[in-house]
């Protein structure tokens, strides 16, 4: 009996360890699946809009960006400014502005209004007070994402980017290409490199660093360039790379082991009763 109990305990320990080992992979798969679906739903909504609606939405965002140039308190907006901000570039009512693709690190993620934790758990947040991601001279868009989450990859590989790499913003039916020209590490309260620069069209990707410590901020800045031939949104997400069958097998194996142990215990007990 003691030997049997020891086997059960060993099985439980094994399954616990296996579950902990598989959790990041499976969780990242489901989050990536959600991100892929969010991008697909957004794209469908944009396709349903007529040209005039799209033009009006982009024009309103550009007008908003112009007001930021002379707004010294743009990173501490009023309630009224919050309301206006939330109403812009919200095509499907989810707060999703568009999405970003980073070919070098095979990244394709939805972009949402704000940097609340609920946003950063599932996608990339636009920092209110920075320019909306529609481009134009005298704009500087800042996008923030988590790094190192066990449940989602997000901006985990941002530190692998180098000067000369590109990233693309897909906003409504507009594609904006940025070439990385500056990579910096700053203190969390240092906003100096996020300022709008006269005549420049900039976008900065922001995440925490060092990995797992998160005491500083990694800033990867790009300047707008002409769209290149072949540069589009064809970046395969992690969810698409990993088949549903693979995930199902990973989930099924621990369940089968548990079932085997339960059945084995039941059979052993039944045999003991028969002997008695």
Per-residue pLDDT of the chain (276 residues; tens, 9 = 90+): 555 555 556 556 655 555 545 445 444 444 556 668 889 999 999 999 999 999 999 999 999 999 999 998 999 999 999 999 999 999 989 999 999 999 999 999 999 999 999 999 889 999 999 999 999 999 999 999 998 766 578 899 999 999 999 999 999 989 999 999 999 999 999 999 999 999 999 999 999 999 888 999 999 999 999 998 765 544 434 433 444 444 444 545 555 565 555 556 556 666 565 555
Residue 27 lies in a domain: yes
3-state DSSP assignment of residue 16? helix
Q: Examine the domain organization and report whether 192 and 133 are in the same domain.
A: yes
| 62 CA to centre of own chain | 25
Determine the structural domain holding residue 207 and report its residue range.
6-242
Query: Minimal CA–CA distance to 169: which of 102, 77, 114?
Result: 102
Query: Minimal CA–CA distance to 148: which of 19, 24, 20, 36?
Result: 24
Interatomic CA distance for residues 64 and 175, integer angstroms: 19
Q: Are strands 124-126 and 201-209 parallel, antiparallel or unpaired?
A: unpaired
pTM for this entry: 0.74
Residue 1 lies in a domain: no
Q: Examine the domain organization and report whether 268 and 166 are in the same domain.
A: no
Taking residue 249's Cβ as centre, other Cβ atoms within 10 Å add up to 10
- In DSSP notation, 155-174 reads TTTGGG--TT-EEEEEETTE
Interatomic CA distance for residues 224 and 200, integer angstroms: 8
pLDDT at 211: 87
Residue 142 lies in a domain: yes
pLDDT at 248: 45
Tell me, what CATH number does 36's domain have?
2.40.260.10
Q: Examine the domain organization and report whether 161 and 32 are in the same domain.
A: yes
pLDDT at 237: 41
pLDDT at 213: 87
Q: Examine the domain organization and report whether 263 and 172 are in the same domain.
A: no
Q: Examine the domain organization and report whether 267 and 209 are in the same domain.
A: no
Query: Minimal CA–CA distance to 58: which of 114, 136, 129, 140?
Result: 136
Name the domain count of the chain.
2
Residue 78 lies in a domain: yes
pLDDT at 186: 97
**Would you name the residues annotated as active-site residues?**
146, 208
């Amino acid at each position: 009996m003691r030997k049997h109990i020891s086997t059960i305990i060993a099985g439980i320990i094994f399954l616990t360890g296996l579950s902990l080992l598989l959790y990041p992979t499976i969780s990242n798969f489901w989050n990536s699946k959600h991100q892929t679906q969010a991008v697909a739903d957004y794209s469908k909504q944009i396709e349903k809009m007529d040209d005039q609606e799209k033009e009006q939405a982009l024009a309103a965002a550009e007008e908003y960006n112009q007001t930021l140039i002379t707004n010294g308190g743009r990173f501490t907006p009023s309630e009224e400014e919050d309301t206006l901000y939330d109403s812009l570039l919200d095509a499907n009512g989810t707060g999703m502005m568009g999405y970003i693709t980073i070919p070098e690190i095979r990244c394709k993620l939805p972009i949402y209004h704000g940097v609340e934790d609920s946003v950063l758990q599932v996608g990339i947040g636009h920092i209110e007070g920075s320019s909306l991601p529609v481009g134009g001279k005298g704009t500087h868009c800042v996008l923030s994402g988590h790094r190192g989450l066990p449940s989602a990859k997000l901006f985990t590989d941002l530190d692998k980017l180098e000067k000369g790499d590109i990233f693309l913003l897909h906003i409504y039916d507009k594609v904006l290409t940025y070439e990385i020209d500056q990579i910096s590490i700053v203190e969390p309260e240092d906003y100096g490199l996020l300022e709008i620069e006269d005549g420049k069209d900039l976008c900065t990707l922001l995440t925490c660093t060092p990995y797992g410590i998160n005491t500083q901020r990694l800033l990867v800045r790009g300047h707008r360039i002409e769209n290149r031939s072949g540069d589009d949104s064809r970046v395969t997400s992690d969810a698409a790379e990993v088949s549903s069958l693979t995930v199902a097998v990973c989930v099924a194996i621990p369940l089968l082991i548990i079932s085997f142990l339960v059945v084995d215990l039941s059979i052993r007990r039944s045999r003991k009763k028969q002997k008695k």
